[in-house]
Structure 1
Amino acid sequence: MKIGYIRVSTQEQNTIRQEILMERLGVDDLYIDRASGKNAQRPELQKMMEYVRKGDTVIVESISRFARNTRDLLELVERLTGKGVEFISQKEAIDTTTPTGKFMLTVFGAVAELEREYILQRQREGIAAAKGQGRYKGRKPIEPPGLDMVIRRWRAGELTAAEAMRKLDLSPSTFYRKAKRFAG
């Protein structure tokens, strides 16, 4: 089977371009993640890695859609190879069934990682410049309605921490950080 994997970084980004490519390539099954590629802990990627079996081919539009660093890329491809699954990156024309394809995979993986580092560096430089000009204030703090009341009830023992987090729709780290700063 031909298995397609698509990734975009955010919920707002469009997958249509990649979906059209997969349809043109005759992909039988498709997995789509809307998540950062900074690590391999993506739900659809994990499902796909579990699903594929010997003789399948995993097709991606480009290496950067599959992995953002060389280590993850090589580990994922090694897992696929161990299962007898071929990996093809359309943009870079990489086919891991050949020694040249394996070599090119490593080279392009390193280039994709370098590109990601350049993006992050430019982002940091842009933020620093904007801060210097007083135009960047950072992310607005999360202040859910009723925060003070829920924290008071939690401290009084009327709510468990889990109930308080659920009511406020906060992660544990955010909840405890806010509770620590809350003077009561």
Structure 2
Amino acid sequence: MLRIGYVRPSEADEAESAAVLRAQGCQVIRIEEGAGEAPMVLASILEFIGEGDQLVAPNLQHLGRSTRGILELIERLEQRGASLVTVDPPLSSAGPAGQQLRAILEAVAALEPPEAPRRRTRAPAHEIRALQRAGLGPVEIARKLGVSRMTVWRKLKALRAEPCGAA
């Protein structure tokens, strides 16, 4: 059984959260790179987590923006034969306690308003150009602006295609 620790950036100290997960016996600890829309590190964990493994997080807030999102995460883990464990409060999605946890989360989710469609973050071309001129590469620019790498590549391509004098 592999215990995989996961930390999403927040107001809490990431190093402190990682230390707590190490103390919980996590062999692998992954920290999300930025506070962007899609948690890429969590998505990669869900791709390789296997039967009997545990995803360990400091608390439920590190796992999703809504109760529905946390329920979806638990379902994906269960499909892979894995479970969720939180440190504070100590919760687990496995066994009878897991059924109780799911029932509570479903009740809370029923009280939440439906999620509003998310607006996509758009990076202005002038910001991308300024960061590129400052020596940053497309990956660093994407992280800094909270957009996808593909967005940066498209904007850079469009900037190269502009006729001279246009800005």
TM-score over 0.5 for the alignment?
Answer: yes
Give the TM-score normalised by the residue count of structure 2: 0.60
Q: Find the counterpart in structure 1 of residue 89 from structure 2.
A: 92
Within a 5 Å distance, the mapping from 1:42-121 to structure 2 comes to 42-105=39-102, 107=104, 110=108
Letter of the aligned partner of 2:15 in structure 1?
I
| 1:71-114 per-position Cα deviation (integer Å, ceiling 9, x unaligned) | 11111111101111021011121111123333335536848x97
What SS does the corresponding residue of 1:54 show, helix, strand or coil? coil
CA-to-aligned-CA distance 1:145-179 (integer Å, 9 cap, x gap): 999xxxxxxxxxxxxxx98931898xxxxxxxxxx
Q: In angstroms, what is the RMSD of aligned CA positions?
A: 3.7
Rate the CA distance shift 1:5–1:164 in 2: closer, same or farther, 3 A: closer
Counterpart secondary structure, 1:58: strand
For structure 2, list consecutive stretches of 5 or more residues without a partner in the other structure.
116-123, 131-151, 160-166
CA distance in 2, matches of 1:145, 1:72: 31
Task: Calculate percent identity across the aligned residue pairs.
Answer: 21
Name the residue aligned to 1:7: 8
Deviations 1:118-155 (A, max 9, x none): xxxxxxxxxxxxxxxxxxxxxxx9855999xxxxxxxx
Cα 1:25–1:143, aligned 2, differ >3 Å: closer, same or farther?
Answer: same
- CA distances 1:15-73 after superposition (whole Å, capped 9, x unpaired): 11111101111111112113448x6x311001100010001111000000011211111
CA 1:167–1:45: 2 relative to 1, 3 Å: same
Bigger-Rg structure (1/2): 1
Residue 155 of structure 2 is matched in structure 1 by 165
Looking at both structures, which has the greater relative contact order when contacts are Cα pairs under 8 Å and sequence separation is at least 6? Answer: 2
Tell me the TM-score normalised to structure 1 length. Answer: 0.55
Which whole-Å CA distance do the structure 2 matches of 1:70 and 1:60 have between them?
15
Is 2:71–2:105's contact at 8 Å kept on the other side of the alignment? no
Secondary structure at the counterpart of residue 68 of structure 1:
coil
SS of aligned partner of 1:8: coil
Supply the AA of the counterpart residue of 2:42: L
Distance 1:143 1:99, change over 3 A: same
Opposite residue 166 of structure 1, the aligned amino acid is: L
Q: Which amino acid aligns with 1:8?
A: P
The answer to whether 1:18 aligns with 2:8 is no
